[in-house]
Amino acid sequence: MRINPLFPYPLYLVISERDCYPQNWLNVAEEAIIGGVDLIQLREKADDPATFLDKAIRLKKLTDHYGIPLVINDAVAIAAQIEAWGIHVGQNDLQPLAIREKYGDKLTIGWSIEDMQQLESQQMYAVDHLGVSPIFSTKTKVDTVTEWGIAGLKQLRSRTEKPLIAIGRMNLQTAEETWNAGADSIAVVSAICQSQDPRAASAQLKELLK
């Protein structure tokens, strides 16, 4: 398997309670880890802070138990409080430079980019890795700007050394081509969370990443 030492997590699970429904999200997380997921991001859009914190603490226990990193989406203070490995933010969230200024190297910082111009942003100085969002349009997140596609991902690959996390309709049909185009990590929601067998789904996806 091709591993980028700057981001040695080829299979990346983005999880929420809603995206796992009707399955129990924490069970899905555990099954996915056993199946081969290398890192988990908790991305809860609807929760109040107390509920989010409670979930984050429970998931942190699980990821610590299995020795994999936990990333928190958007909620920087909660990420710091539970000593998560990282934070992931988008273009409309608290920006990487501000996060770095406040938290130093306590949190690794992932940043979603939606167009090529954002590569030139000053924010890039504070970014550890990039979410390429979305590779393909997806029902899971409808407020996206454009599709990068495989061609866009290859272009990005040639323009930055930062680790690239591909997200958006990653599944057994799309993940291999995306990986071979130079992604360092394949980030998945529904292909794992909506699977009847998240463990097997994770193992099958992992198998494609060589």
Near Mg ion in 141-180, by CB under 5 A: none
177 labeled part of a ligand binding site = no
Q: Is 93 annotated as a binding residue?
A: yes
Find all residues with CB under 8 Å of 38, minimum gap 6, and list them.
8, 9, 10, 11, 12, 68, 185
* Contact by Cβ (8 Å): 6, 129: yes
- Least Å distance between CB 28 and ligand TZP? 13
- Of 17, 19, 74, 128, the residue at the interface with Mg ion (CB under 5 A) is 74
Q: Residue 130 or 191: which CB sits closer to ligand TZP?
A: 191
Nearest to 156 by CA among 125, 137, 183, 128: 183
Smallest separation, CB 172 to Mg ion (Å): 27
Does the annotation list 180 as a binding residue? no
- Out of ligand TZP, Mg ion, none, what residue 93 binds, judged by CB under 5 to 8 A for its kind, is Mg ion
Stretch that binds Mg ion, among 6-14, 62-70, 72-80, 113-121 (CB under 5 A): 72-80
Contact between 93 and Mg ion per CB under 5 A: yes
The residue number whose beta carbon is nearest to Mg ion equals: 90
Question: Interface residues with ligand TZP (CB under 6 A)?
Answer: 14, 133-134, 138, 140-141, 144, 167-170, 188-191
The item of ligand TZP, Mg ion, none sharing an interface with residue 149, based on CB under 5 to 8 Å by kind, is: none
Query: Which tokens sit at 115?
Result: 């167009």
Instruction: Specify the residue, 42 or 167, whose C-beta has the smaller distance to ligand TZP.
Output: 167
If the CB atoms of residues 106 and 207 are measured against ligand TZP, the closer one turns out to be 207
Residues making contact with Mg ion (CB under 5 A): 74, 90, 93
| Binding site, annotated residues | 41-45, 73-74, 93, 112, 138-141, 189-190
